[in-house]
Structure 1
Amino acid sequence: MQSIAIFLIFLFSCSQSPNYYYKRGNSFFINGDYYKALDMYSKAILIKPDFSQALVSRALTYEKIGDKEKAKDDYIKAISADPKYLPAYNNIASILIESGLYSDALYYINRALEIDPKYYYAFYNRGLLNYYAKNYKQSIDDLTSAINLNPKDIAYYYRAMAYYKNREFTNAISDLEKIKDLSSDIVYYQLAKIKLENLDPSAINDINKAIGIKQEPSYYFLKSRIYVKLNNFNMAEESINQAIKLSGASKSSYLYYAGDIYLHSGNQEMARKYYDMAIKVNPGSKDLYYNCLKKMKKTRRNGRK
């Protein structure tokens, strides 16, 4: 009796088209019900094993639940089923890039470009790969190709970062200026950081905009560094103390920097306080700590309080 029931269930499953299960899988995926989506995609693939769209969708679902190995297997199956289905190449390359397997990722990206020399996502992914691999010139070239095909904000962002790493500050700033209408705190933060290195005083405006969107300790730390460059040590003290407060006084780099600011301002007592806090937070920074104490002694010998 049990075998008859199983047989009837199988017959009912097969009576539906693979597209029916594929579309149901998409509905479950959109609603975040990933295990039901997997079930639907698997039923579609059971009926039609070379259903490349369903294979890629199931792979994406595996990614959502953290099973990248099964995702890679499905992407490879999708490529075997339809060697011209570009999303499979793009998605497996993305997984491989995230895993640091750049040579393997490059293989799939280049295969995608052989199929379609104007495939935006292949140029974008290769630009990203080269950025992570610290091949900044190649990254700029690939991301420029991606932008020429489709000027998306994310490509501008990573090209700006590649320009920055390549010390092309003017170009980096230009790209970030193009996308700052996104009102992204990260974009404003990166703009401020690059402008600081380019000795552009308008960096303070950008970091204030970043802080206006999101309160992050790293943003206040950068703000403090900008004020030091502007020789405004009172505001630098205020900003570094806010960074320390937001971080829970857990970052020795902030504490050492606060000590340096107070030392420059002639407040040895406060400088020593922050240096002592820093060494407690990071006992492995003894060399830096003793160098800071030497700076304090040298400052006293030079007649400063």
Structure 2
Amino acid sequence: MTEFMHRLKFGAIFPILCLALLAGCVNSSAGEFVSKNKVVLAEQYPNVHFDQEVMIARISQILIVGQLTNKERADLHFERGVLYDSLGLWGLARYDFTQALALQPRMAAVYNYLGLYLLLEEEFDGALEAFNVVLELDPNYEYTYLNRGLDFHYTGRYNLANQDFLRFYLADTKDPYRVLWLYFNDLKFKPAEAKQNLVQRAKTLSTEYWGTFIVQYYLGKISVQDLLDKAKKFVDPHSPQYAEILTETYFYLAKQKLNQGDLDEAKTMFKLAVANQVYNFVEYRFALFELDKLKDTTSSEQTEQVVVQK
């Protein structure tokens, strides 16, 4: 546990987006979500996070002047950390989570968040240690199986990732996002079975989830244009929820492009997922993660080209 705490470090990288250039980077295969003169993004509202900001101010005041037990103080640090996380203020969130952990060392949810931050920084061993602590404290902490599966997946341990993703999926077989992560892992673990597994798992999905339509797109049952049309009907295009489904859509379109080897288009789609600013969605977090990996890939390729030229 001491080694885990030593690994914690602050800071997050937020790429600068130039949306005027993005539209020209993706060809017509992206349909109407991205075309030469148009990029579909959700509207951003200055006051959309007003309630979270008010809660942060109130919690901060209580932490300063309140007569609190260690447990009460730890709970407040945790709640403020969650609020900071939802606003994309991950450094401040990590500070609060570590404060909570110092006061209450057995808070499983705190280890889950801190493990996720370590994973996003490619501190895979530290992240794995954190997720294992979560499951020692609470074996039924569902989303840690997703997070630990992601750790295994991104380090090439696809058999272990399959076990965690499968357990996460079986906890709710109606959830399309659990199916999609199993599919991505199947493409690496057992590619010959990946498509058929997706077909079978799609049968139990609920259309209450936007991701079910993304699965239908992956199966070739609907087009990208159909996705756009359904998105406008699924939620009000002027609501915050529209940003959420666009974040999900761009991320999974990017994953498809990445799996097909279309790195430039994948980068553009990942950037568009980030542009909708849904900071606490796994798709937002891992769009940043994938962009960082793609940046490393591009740098390596450029270095190799220079060496060859010499």
TM-score by length of 2: 0.50
SS at match of 1:33: helix
Matched with 2:123 is 101
Q: 1:210 deviation in Å?
A: 4.5
Q: 1:158 deviation in Å?
A: 0.9
Check if 1:45 corresponds to 2:73.
Answer: no
Q: 1:139 deviation in Å?
A: 1.3
Matched with 2:27 is none
Q: 1:87 deviation in Å?
A: 1.6
Matched with 1:6 is none
* Identical residues among aligned pairs (%): 19
Matched with 2:168 is 146
Partners of 2:112 and 2:210 in 1: CA distance: 29
Q: 1:150 deviation in Å?
A: 4.4
Partners of 1:127 and 1:150 in 2: CA distance: 16
Matched with 1:178 is 204
Unaligned runs of 5+ in 2: 1-46, 230-248, 257-267, 269-301, 303-310
Matched with 1:165 is 188
SS at match of 1:178: coil
Partners of 1:191 and 1:71 in 2: CA distance: 38
Matched with 1:70 is 92
Matched with 1:250 is none
The structure with more helix, counted as a fraction of residues: 1
Question: Could you say which structure has the larger radius of gyration?
Answer: 1
Partners of 1:34 and 1:126 in 2: CA distance: 28
The answer (yes or no) to whether the contact 1:84–1:115 under 8 Å persists in 2 is yes
Q: How many residues align?
A: 181
Check if 1:211 corresponds to 2:225.
Answer: yes
SS at match of 1:84: coil
The answer (yes or no) to whether the contact 1:180–1:188 under 8 Å persists in 2 is no
* Cα-to-partner distance string for 1:245-272 (whole Å, 9 max, x where unaligned): xx9xxxxxxxxxxxxxxxxxxxxxxxxx
Q: 1:75 deviation in Å?
A: 1.1
Mapping of residues 220-259 of structure 1, within 5 Å: none
Matched with 1:190 is 218
Partners of 1:176 and 1:154 in 2: CA distance: 11
Check if 1:131 corresponds to 2:149.
Answer: no
SS at match of 1:179: coil
The answer (yes or no) to whether the contact 2:214–2:227 under 8 Å persists in 1 is no
Unaligned runs of 5+ in 1: 1-28, 193-205, 223-246, 248-283, 285-305
SS at match of 1:134: coil
The answer (yes or no) to whether the contact 1:130–1:136 under 8 Å persists in 2 is yes
Name the Cα RMSD after superposition: 3.4
Q: 1:155 deviation in Å?
A: 2.0
Matched with 2:21 is none
* Corresponding letter in the other structure for 1:154: Y
Structure showing greater relative contact order (alpha-carbon pairs closer than 8 Å, 6 or more residues apart): 2
Q: 1:142 deviation in Å?
A: 0.5
Q: 1:141 deviation in Å?
A: 0.5
Q: 1:126 deviation in Å?
A: 0.7
SS at match of 2:217: helix
Matched with 2:53 is 35
SS at match of 2:204: helix
Mapping of residues 54-93 of structure 1, within 5 Å: 54-93=76-115
Match of 1:112 among 134, 138, 142: 134
Assess, with a 3 A threshold, how the Cα gap between structure 1 residues 189 and 96 changes in structure 2: closer, same or farther: farther
